[in-house]
Amino acid sequence: MHPAASVILFTVTSGAGYGLLFWLALLGCLDALPLTRSLGLAGFGCALALITAGLLASTFHLGHPERAWRALTQWRSSWLSREGVLALLVYPPALGLAAGWLLVGHLDGLYAAAGWLTVLLVPATVFSTAMIYASLKPIPQWHNRWVPAGYLALALGNGGLWLALLSSLFGAGQARACALAVAGLLLAAWVKRHYWRAIDAAPPLATVADATGLGRLGAARLLERPHTAPNYLQKEMGFAVARKHAARLRRLALGGLLLAAALLALAAPLPIPLAAPLAALALVLGMLGTFAERWLFFAEATHTVNLYYGAAAV
């Protein structure tokens, strides 16, 4: 599949924003994070900015962005529509949580309810984003159980990276934030390794013989391509990445996540002046690793339509 920059930007930035919002809501409701105004302003500001920027970026992949609102009407059958509805539903409780944190200084009553509702809606939204891809049976690299797990784990890890940096800057819950980020990053690395092993070991979903209905007659091959010039399907769904490049990008993605985890483990016990630069570098490495992972997530995906354009098996 063609790795569209708008979709990559959307899934990475919104995932990090949702992860940060999840940790703020959960730790705030559990009274496991100091409800300081500086941390709250920076935390909710970054989380909502990342989420909004990602959602806006996603509209650039649409042929008619002005019609995006119509997707919200198909929530009964479409994961894309469910994602859009849930993404909008996150804002009111998140703003209510932010109001309790910043204006009142404690979370109880309606503010606590808003926090717990945020805790529930955020992973539901990220899961819906993942299911947009995991529900597509013609793309075997996406139609497996590791895709939702990867999206959720990366959201937790990248959200933890942002929280760790903000905590180290404002001296509020630094050790706990670093520990959570390390756990999330290690989980994400573990999930991605299993995902790549699964897609590498999976048998072909279909062959040319299956696609043409000639399987009973034995092997089949394409005699001539149906077009003399590339068409839309070939450009969007015929993208292929060389195996050696895929291996390098996998190492880059895992290396970014693991190096970020190592830096945060070192930063956790350090005082603010020393911890903040390490946390900032960890954030850069972790996000770069995630961008590499997400580009590869699209580049390695093969659609069964390629069987009609020269692929022997998909």
Amino acid at 230: P
**pLDDT for position 229:** 73
**pLDDT for position 234:** 73
Residue 314 lies in a domain: no
Q: Please enumerate in sequence order all residues whose Cβ is within 8 A of that of 82, keeping only pairs 6 or more positions apart, or say none.
A: 75, 128, 131
- pLDDT 10s digit of each residue in the chain, 314 long? 788 888 999 999 999 999 999 999 999 999 999 999 999 999 999 999 999 999 888 877 666 666 666 777 877 888 989 999 999 999 999 999 999 999 988 888 999 999 999 999 999 999 999 999 999 999 999 999 999 999 999 999 999 999 999 999 998 889 999 999 999 999 999 999 999 999 999 888 877 777 777 666 667 776 666 777 777 777 777 777 877 888 999 999 999 999 999 999 999 999 888 899 999 999 999 999 999 999 999 999 888 887 777 677 77
The single residue listed with the structure tokens 């996998």 is 250
Residue 257 lies in a domain: yes
**pLDDT for position 66:** 61
Residue 281 lies in a domain: yes
**pLDDT for position 83:** 92
Residue 16 lies in a domain: yes
Residue 70 lies in a domain: yes
Q: Which two tokens stand for residue 1?
A: 């599949």
**pLDDT for position 217:** 61
- Domain encompassing residue 21: 5-309
How many alpha carbons lie under 13 Å from residue 90 in its C-beta half-sphere?
28
**pLDDT for position 63:** 64
Residue 296 lies in a domain: yes
**pLDDT for position 61:** 66
pTM: 0.92
Distance, in Å, from the CA atom of 180 to the CA atom of 162, rounded to the nearest integer, reads: 11
**pLDDT for position 186:** 97
**pLDDT for position 197:** 95
CATH number of the domain at 119, please: 1.20.1630
Count of domains in the chain?
A: 1
Residue 63 lies in a domain: yes
Residue 56 lies in a domain: yes
